[in-house]
Amino acid sequence: MSESATAAATPPLVTPVRVICAVLLLAPFVALLWVSSYSRLTPAFIGIPFFYWYQLLWVILSALMTGVAYVLFTREEKRRKAEAKAGAVK
């Protein structure tokens, strides 16, 4: 089989869905490693200083982002496997 036919048969590894998943998984790291953006006391939320409630908010956000990334990734993998199976049948 020629190299161009093989390249056309295999789907690319970097897809828009995988890029979105990577951004969703990296966002909490960037937000929490950039300490100077949240190392302050104000604005307080129900008496809790900003420093603490911002970090706790990211616990919830990162769980949601991880869940969305998982769903997107598994959907794409199922689609890729179905396409590969349909391509193998032909």
For residue 39, the model assigns a pLDDT of: 81
pLDDT value of position 58: 94
Amino acid 75: pLDDT: 94
Mean pLDDT by groups of 10 residues along the chain of 90 residues:
57 87 95 86 87 92 96 92 79
pLDDT at residue 3 in the model = 57
Q: How confident is the model at residue 6, as a pLDDT?
A: 54
Q: What string of DSSP letters covers 55-88? A: HHHHHHHHHHHHHHHHHHHHHHHHHHHHHHHHHH
Which residues, in sequence order, are CB contacts of 75 under 8 Å at separation 6+?
A: 17
CB 14 within 8 A of CB 75: no
User: What pTM, to 2 d.p., does this model score?
Assistant: 0.76
